[in-house]
Structure 1
Amino acid sequence: MTTTTPTPSPAVRERSPGTAADPGAAARRRRAVSQWLFIAPAIAYMLVFFSYPLVRNVVMSFQQYTPATYFTGEAPFTGLDNWRAVLTDELFAASLWHTLVFTAGSLAGQFVIGMALALFFSRRFPLSGVMRSLLLLPWLIPMVVAGTVWRRVLDQETGVLNEALQGLNLTSGAIPWLSSPDFALLSVILVNIWIGIPFNMVILYGGLQEIPREIREAAVLDGAGFFRRFFGVTLPMLKPVVTVVLVLGFMSTVKILDLILALTNGGPANATETLGTHTYQLSFLQLDFGQGAVVGNVLILVSMVFAVIYLRANREGMAR
């Protein structure tokens, strides 16, 4: 006795999953297309304003690119000559070191003081909103304006800071804040810390407001002191916010140019020369765009390495 398998009716076949007439598959396709349409402007923006300049900068670092190129259109490839010339230059090594010190010092100072102010303002008191608004002023001032003002404040002969220190008998003489290689880099770091404190305070303050009050109250009831509550409760719950603050702070600090130009122009004796100012010197003063592109590529690479390492470490920490 043989058995026959009934053939599905046409209506059943049309409703079977995966067929062209499946309403679920059609809805998924429409949803996928709509998702791509939403992100298409962002992809186009990245390709035009980021990917193309990045690729062009990499290509330029292997070319002899001079002002004559803009008239003749000729930019012969030189192989690794530009890279060899830059990487073996002592000024490049000094610029890289100054960039790391400047970035690390700025981030540490901005984060510590910003966190302290965020914790301070998390407790409501009269005029707290007014004080927070006033502390935002350094963030709103253009970088060049801030650098120009601080250059006058830190002037060795007529600066307000030296006059105040000597008037209080804290120093016996004028300190060469910007004219001495021993003080110049420290002075630039302190000015950048002053500028970046409001950003850290605002972001961290917003993160603190998202921590449930019940959790902090439970820690107090358990007898936890301030430092135990901060390192055991507050800081772990702020980890995503801290990640954003440090990554964005690094990206904005490592490439700073205008502030250093306004304060010291990379001097004295190249004491404040960073990768950003070194790129500017090579490209726009010495007009060697090929070597300037090399330093710019190194700067981009440093930023990418930091971002990848930090985000991966943060992702692994959250997974635990």
Structure 2
Amino acid sequence: MTTTLAAGPAPVVARPGPDIASRRRRARTRERTAQWLFLVPAIAYVLVFFGYPIVKNFVMGSQDYTVRTFVSGEAPWVGLDNYVEVVTSSIFRTSVVNTALFTVGSIVGQFVIGLLFALFFKRRFPLGNVLRSLLLLPWLLPMIAGTAVWKWILDQDGGVLNEALRAVGLVDAPVHWLTSPDVALVAVVIVNVWVGIPFNMTLLYSGLQNIPEELYEAGALDGATGVKAFWHITWPNLRPVVSVVLVLGVIYTLKVLDIILGLTGGGPAGATETLATDSYRRSFQEFSFGTGAAVSNILIVVSLLFAVVYLRANRRAVDE
């Protein structure tokens, strides 16, 4: 005989009452409100101190903005005339070439020397922390003081560099580091490399510290030591940090102004004139704020294009 058991009623799942659901909604609303309250100061700061100046600069680039504007309040709209005037000027091509040479030379020098220092200080040795701290001094010194010291070092008559080169027999006559169109740009690059080494070394050293030692131990078992360990272990793991260092370095170098003004002022004969100094000269020496803003807008676009192109290329290389 087969016994059939009747199925009991399905269990009833208690649903939250209207009071509980409303309390949960109010709690979520308060949480979202608190999140926005924390974000509002940061958003306001970015909009006021970054967004407004950039928008204002782009607007000025299309206006005839001069000293008269501060009196009359009128800045006639000229469209792309300022950009045409800038691009067709005799100094524009020179400033573009100088900017490219200055940027490439500075980035290569800063990155290579900074990486070598980072690899050197990764090894533990007595007074290593003290020496690493001393290397931060160029980054901490005010640029006015730094350029004044370098101007004395590079002086053609009694400068330390010329005296040292003559003492070891490398030169017979003093080198006109800051007054010769042939070497002035090289001198400015050297000083900018000196300033940028601590920044590169600090970031790259931090990246090296995050690479597990177990990878090197495992690589040593397979014969990956020395240069092989660097190419197969260090460099792949350091690539994200390298991307940040290069992008920030290029953006910072494109807008370097104080070093060039302190050493050469853009001379001699425009040998160290860059887009940054051209923008400064037009705005604060010729008081043509419209064309000065146009040059700085070109710099902004170039910086953004480089950052986007490089980051996308690097991301594609990492994915592959």
Common fold, TM-score beyond 0.5?
Answer: yes
1:218 match: 218
User: What are the equivalent positions in structure 2 for 1:196-235 lying under 5 Å apart?
Assistant: 196-235=196-235
Contact 1:20 1:26 in 2 (8 A): no
Could you tell me how far 1:22 is from its partner in structure 2? 6.4
Question: Secondary structure in 2 aligned to 1:182?
Answer: coil
Q: Distance in 2 between matches of 1:313 and 1:81?
A: 35
Q: Structure 2: where are the runs of 5+ without partners?
A: 1-11
Deviations 1:98-123 (Å, cap 9, x if unpaired)? 11211111111111111101101111
Deviations 1:214-258 (Å, cap 9, x if unpaired)? 111111221113221111110111122112211221222110101
> Against the structure 1 CA distance between its residues 57 and 20, is the aligned structure 2 distance closer, same or farther, given a 3 Å change threshold?
farther
Could you tell me how far 1:79 is from its partner in structure 2? 2.3
2:276 match: 276
User: What are the equivalent positions in structure 2 for 1:108-257 lying under 5 Å apart?
Assistant: 108-257=108-257
Give the TM-score taking structure 1 as reference length. Answer: 0.91
2:4 match: none
Which stretch has the larger CA shift, 282-291 or 231-240? 231-240
Letter in 2 for 1:310: Y
Q: Structure 1: where are the runs of 5+ without partners?
A: 1-8
Which stretch has the larger CA shift, 301-310 or 262-271? 301-310
> Against the structure 1 CA distance between its residues 294 and 117, is the aligned structure 2 distance closer, same or farther, given a 3 Å change threshold?
same
Question: Secondary structure in 1 aligned to 2:67?
Answer: coil
Q: Once superposed, what is the RMSD of the aligned Cα atoms? A: 2.0
Letter in 2 for 1:210: N
> Against the structure 1 CA distance between its residues 13 and 230, is the aligned structure 2 distance closer, same or farther, given a 3 Å change threshold?
same
Could you tell me how far 1:133 is from its partner in structure 2? 1.4
> Against the structure 1 CA distance between its residues 203 and 14, is the aligned structure 2 distance closer, same or farther, given a 3 Å change threshold?
same
Letter in 2 for 1:317: A
Could you tell me how far 1:65 is from its partner in structure 2? 0.9
User: What are the equivalent positions in structure 2 for 1:94-113 lying under 5 Å apart?
Assistant: 94-113=94-113
Q: Distance in 2 between matches of 1:202 and 1:45?
A: 28
Question: Secondary structure in 2 aligned to 1:238?
Answer: helix
Q: Distance in 1 between matches of 2:34 and 2:287?
A: 47
Q: Does 1:314 align with 2:283?
A: no
Q: Distance in 2 between matches of 1:318 and 1:20?
A: 49
Q: Distance in 1 between matches of 2:229 and 2:314?
A: 21
> Against the structure 1 CA distance between its residues 73 and 216, is the aligned structure 2 distance closer, same or farther, given a 3 Å change threshold?
same
Contact 1:98 1:273 in 2 (8 A): yes
Q: Distance in 2 between matches of 1:31 and 1:306?
A: 39
2:37 match: 37
Instruction: Count the aligned residue pairs.
Output: 308
Q: Distance in 1 between matches of 2:89 and 2:230?
A: 46
1:3 match: none
Q: Distance in 2 between matches of 1:32 and 1:319?
A: 35
2:265 match: 265
2:8 match: none
> Against the structure 1 CA distance between its residues 124 and 86, is the aligned structure 2 distance closer, same or farther, given a 3 Å change threshold?
same
Give the TM-score taking structure 2 as reference length. Answer: 0.91
Q: Distance in 2 between matches of 1:135 and 1:200?
A: 11
Identity %, equivalent residues: 55
Q: Distance in 2 between matches of 1:27 and 1:250?
A: 46
